[in-house]
Structure 1
Amino acid sequence: MEAIAALIAQAGVDGRRLRTVLAFLGDGRWWTLADLVRESATSRRTVESLLREVELERSGDRFRLREPLVGLVGGGMPPADPVAHLLPHHTDLVTRMEELVAKAPRGRQALDHVAATADTVVRRALLLDARFWLDGARLLCVGDHDLTSLATAMLHPGVEVTVVDIDERILAYIAEEADRSGLNVRTRWADLRLGLPASAQSWADLALTDPPYTPEGVGLFTARAVEGLRDRERGRILLAYGASERTPALAFKVQHALSQLNLVNEAIYPDFNRYHGAEAIGSAADLYILRPTTKTWPAVAARVDGFGAAIYTHGPQSVESAAPASPTLAALGQASDAPGVLVGDWPKDLLPKTPRARLTTWLAKPYASDPARVAIAVPAGLEAALPRLLLATRAQHVLLTLAGPPQGLTTGPLSAVYELTAEGATVHAVRLPPPATDSGRILRRILDNAHGKLANTWREGLIKARGDLTKKQARALVTDVAPWADDVTVLELPAHRLEELPAAVTASLTAADAAGSPG
């Protein structure tokens, strides 16, 4: 008892956490360590320090107090949840989200994925619905491994949702469920270090993000969320971020990164988000509601490119990883013709007179000239952008240098544009001659204009192949076979949509022929 009392006294006003843990342990239920950490929103280290001082009854990996402790327990968790009273009215939605979360692709450590609980996802949707008017509103999910997009669309069909994410598996999973359930959710691929998709820029009224919990990750994801807002006066950003009660200095660094974006903290709900994992921070995170000011957009424009590529806590792009090695002259191989432009981070003394372009610029807009040869340096951690970097150029020969040999190099739709070969950490892409079939020519036209609106390029290709179509008729055919093609560029399409593209182009031609046939 004395050791426990000493721990509580040492915690001072934060001793409620320890008293809450003791209350849970003494309520008769069996607990696992993970459940106790999550329910108390207290870091694993703090819970373990308390468990070492109490007498526990154990059953496998579960435990509870042998006897309740009198005088040392608290009154339960503080009132941190503004929508807890609404949750009992939405048990069906919680059950459905539990099923979807359980079937979703597993998280990737290199992307700092930790799954939120199903009731957390539903409570996020409830808070959005309770605090904001969602009829006709647009919600941008800046990353959505937790499936908040689906919960919000199910709760309130009147909201339009866009998800941007780097994880192709999550995008395909969300799109499949949205299509099956008739939800107003669209998906876009993005590596936020390289920019926000064009169709998501200045699009949303509300943005929600649960980013990597580094100052760089929180700053970058929040800045991209700001770029996604169309309502500059009344738009809001909901941000999930958590730190251990033991490390307030880490939270300060994150809040400093947010303050540099000149955002107003309208509300911070402590421990609103709960997770399966992340025990170092108590399997919990606060929910911030942020409002931009007139000074936010200049601050975002000034800082967004300065966050760098190292934003995660694990993997090759973690904040603690070694700086990537720059490509050398040897990476350009023995090609007789020098590249017309160097894309990415190349040494300054390498071909100093050759024009250069940043990866972000390369993906954002077509290059001003039309070089025959291009060399692109792809650093570790950005390999997912490789197909888009290739589609962003019309060069006859593209040389890509990677941090290591490509793993499972697959061509997919790129096979309609390039012949690809790999030599160690170098990929050579040689442009193929024009195709001979109508469907091949339309597909190639689309892929050759990857920065343009997909539906517009497709429409013009149909008209050229079937001259009797009007623009309206051709656009209707595109929308009918590929409703996901509206208002999107090829560079934003998730991989599963890119893979569907050839068959969809063929289907549009078949539909055009059927519409034009007599009878």
Structure 2
Amino acid sequence: MNPLRPRARPVRLVTALLNEGWRDIDELVHGSALPRRSVEELLAELGDDLEHRGDLVRLREGSAARAAELAGLPAEPPGDLLDRIRSHIEGVPAPLPALDHVQATPETVLRRARWLDEEYDLRQARLLFLGDHDLTSLAVRALRPDAGLTVVDVDDRVLEYLDDLSDSSIRTVHTDLRFGLPLAVAGSADVVFSDPPYTQAGMALFAARGVECLVRQRESRLLLAYGYSERHPTLGRQVQRELLSLGLTFEAIIPDFHRYTGAQAVGSAADLYVCQPTARASGKGARKGKAEQAIYTRGPRSVEANQAPRPLRDALAAIAAEGGRAVEQRDPDWTRPRAVSEGVAIAVDLTGDPGPWLLRVLLAVNADRVAALVPNAHPDLTNARAQAALIDLIEPKYRLRLLRSTPDNSHAVVVAEARPATEADSGVHAVWTRAHARLGNVWPRAGADIADLRLIDLPRHRIAGVRHQLDPR
């Protein structure tokens, strides 16, 4: 492996200079802006493809093709790529204000893809997107069909849309970064790109998770979009301090790189932060809990939001306790297994659920009874079709009762009663009750693309696909 990869621009500059004629080390350092030792490492890799004359060096005749292969060249974008990006954006699921979705312009998405391809060797660099409602991954896929791309997102709709448009050539993984990162993507990427919520807490959390995703090498990079109003420079300073506290250094800040439809409070623009992790970089300081759920500017988990009022939580506990059961109240975190004592019912406040939490909590918790408090307008409850889909998806594990407008007109309670496995569905029941296990360990037929993921890490449509494969009724 070339020690300079995945960064491509400086390698391309050096090889271009060597192909032009005799050069000394000083010229190569000056022309590429690489440290002298990095230039020396690159020359060592070129080895016999170089010829030497004293302190000068150049490519041997006939070696240009190998050097070009080593450095790679930026891909020429298809002539219709901008139109394709526009079409993709027109069909993307509607932005969710509760997740601070603001759509980047098609020109910005194309600019991102081309910049990534120019800066990094996407033939081999593993590129991970933390959130991708803007569909930048699709533009990169169009430029580099062989690039290794992963998208991690909380929005199941976006993940399904990406799967459909990419023919599943982009790996899609579900998580809510507020509760952690799937082990399968930790330490898996050379380059991480994210356009986080622009709150101080949101930027800090997404950056910390991005650091966790990176392979620990000097060439790994974390790329962040961030904008703040020139009227409030203190906000920019606070975010930059958060990034520095994570052990990141700013390799570059490219002003007004991103443009948006909306976001007028920050001038409908944001800068591109190119961050290099130092030896002290760590995302482990990202805390989990109620405070860290408040990372957005709007919605039930905005920085101003709180948990459900005490009377609602008491009413939830009373429903969970029906029949005289003891009740344990829990937070929404479904990412780690937690034992439940026999005969104890679990009550979970999911009033901040943007949509995907309910299903994952029901998959993650193994109890005789689970009662979840959700908004009455929760996506899984809004109509008969949505309710039937939820009931069918969780049926191998729980029987559901959907108590609408309970305990008040703005909320609902979903009550899940455990059902025993029958001989007919024992296979799916075994997987559904081990949602924290790697799928390859509990389902030998799991495909290679999901074998290292847990059931709770899959996008919702892929959970439904696993259900159908295990129990094709």
For this structure pair, what is the TM-score category when the shorter chain's length is used for normalisation? Answer: 0.7 to 0.9
Partners of 2:208 and 2:285 within 8 A in 1: no
1:320 aligns with 2:304: yes
Q: 1:257 to 1:324 in 2, by over 3 A?
A: farther
Distance in 1 (CA, whole Å) between partners of 2:155 and 2:201 is 19
Q: Can you list the C-alpha shifts for 1:406-447, whole angstroms capped at 9, x where unaligned? A: 54343241022111113314322101121232xx22111111
**Corresponding residue to 1:302 among 275, 285, 294:** 285
| From 368, 380, 391, the counterpart of 2:363 | 391
Q: Give the aligned residue type for 1:291.
A: Q
**Deviation digits for residues 351-385 of structure 1, max 9, x if unmatched?**
xxxxxxxx44x422x22565443413224322521
1:91–1:381 distance in 2 versus 1, CA, 3 Å? farther
- Partner of 2:335, secondary structure, is helix
Q: How many residues align?
A: 380
> Which residue does the alignment assign to 2:101?
113
Task: Report if the CA contact (8 A) 1:434-1:441 is conserved.
Answer: yes
Amino acid at match of 2:330: V
Distance 1:87 1:254, change over 3 A: farther
1:363 is paired with a residue of what secondary structure? Answer: coil
| 1:261 aligned partner | 246
Partner of 1:132: 120
Residues 137, 158 of structure 1: 8 Å contact kept: no
Residue 429 of structure 1: aligned partner: 416
Per the alignment, residue 205 of structure 2 pairs with 220
Match of 1:485 in 2: 450
Measured against aligned partners, the alpha-carbon deviations of 1:126-159 in whole angstroms (never above 9, x if no partner) come to 2222112222221111010001111112212232
Higher mean C-alpha deviation, range 444-453 or range 249-258: 249-258
The yes-or-no answer on 1:413 pairing with 2:401 is: no
Give the distance between the partners of 1:109 and 1:328, measured in 2 at CA.
Answer: 26
Counterparts of residues 65-144 of structure 1 (less than 5 Å): 90-144=78-132
Give the alignment of 1:179-258 within 5 angstroms: 179=167, 184-258=169-243
User: What is residue 335 of structure 1 aligned with on the other side?
Assistant: 322
Question: What CA distance in whole angstroms lies between the structure 1 residues aligned with 2:375 and 2:316?
Answer: 11
**Do the aligned residues in 2 keep the contact of 1:341 with 1:375 (CA within 8 Å)?**
yes
Q: Residue 373 of structure 1: which of 332, 338, 344 is its match? A: 344
Letter in 1 for 2:309: A
How far residue 259 of structure 1 moved from its aligned partner, in angstroms, is 2.1
With normalisation by structure 1, the TM-score equals 0.68
Change (3 A) 1:328 1:260: same
| 1:289 match | 274
Instruction: Give CA deviations for 1:24-52 in whole Å, capped at 9, x if unaligned.
Output: xxxxxxxxxxxxxxxxxxxxxxxxxxxxx
Say whether the 8 Å CA contact 1:339–1:374 is kept in structure 2: yes
Q: For 1:373 and 1:264, how far apart are their aligned partners in 2?
A: 48
The residue matched to 2:223 in structure 1 has which SS? strand
For the residues of structure 1 that align with 2:351 and 2:164, how far apart are their CA atoms?
A: 30
Q: Does 1:277 align with 2:248?
A: no
Q: Partners of 1:453 and 1:173 in 2: how far apart?
A: 24
Give identity over the alignment, percent.
Answer: 37
Instruction: Work out the CA distance in 1 between the residues paired with 2:462 and 2:317.
Output: 33
Matched to 2:348, the amino acid is A
User: 2:223 is aligned with what amino acid?
Assistant: L
2:373, 2:267 → 1: CA distance? 41
What letter corresponds to residue 212 of structure 2 in structure 1? E
Mapped to 1, the partners of 2:392 and 2:135 lie a distance apart of: 27
1:311 aligns with 2:295: yes
- Paired residues of 1:219 and 1:258 also in contact (CA < 8 A): yes
- Cα distance in 2 between the residues matched to 1:198 and 1:103: 31
Hey, what's the Cα distance between the residues in 2 that align with 1:321 and 1:332?
22
Alpha carbons of structure 1 residues 340 and 318: separation in structure 2 relative to 1, 3 Å: closer
Q: Distance between the aligned counterparts of 1:368 and 1:313, measured in 2?
A: 34
Q: Which runs of 5+ in 1 are unaligned?
A: 1-85, 345-358, 460-474, 510-519
| Greater percentage in helix | 1
CA contact (8 A) 1:405 1:426 kept: no
Which residue pairs with 1:158 in the alignment? Answer: 146
Whether the 8 Å CA contact 1:340–1:371 is kept in 2: the answer is no
Does structure 2 retain, via aligned residues, the 8 Å contact 1:418–1:430?
yes
Letter in 2 for 1:386: L
Given that 2:396 and 2:429 are in contact with CA atoms closer than 8 Å, whether structure 1 keeps it comes out as yes
> Residue 174 of structure 2 contacts residue 458 of structure 2 at CA under 8 Å; is this kept in 1?
yes
Distance in 2, matches of 1:371 and 1:385, equals 24
What are the Cα deviations for residues 189-247 of structure 1, in whole angstroms up to 9, with x where unaligned?
A: 11111112232222111111001111111111111111111234332111001122222
TM-superposition CA deviations, 1:265-305 (whole Å, max 9, x none): 111110001111212222111000111122221xx322433
Aligned residue in 1 for 2:44? none
TM-score, normalised via structure 2 length? 0.74
Question: Residue 226 and residue 376 in structure 1: after superposition, are their counterparts in 2 closer, same or farther (change >3 A)?
Answer: farther
Distance in structure 2 (CA, Å) of the matches to 1:401 and 1:258: 35
Q: 1:140 to 1:378 in 2, by over 3 A?
A: farther
What CA distance in whole angstroms lies between the structure 1 residues aligned with 2:394 and 2:470?
15
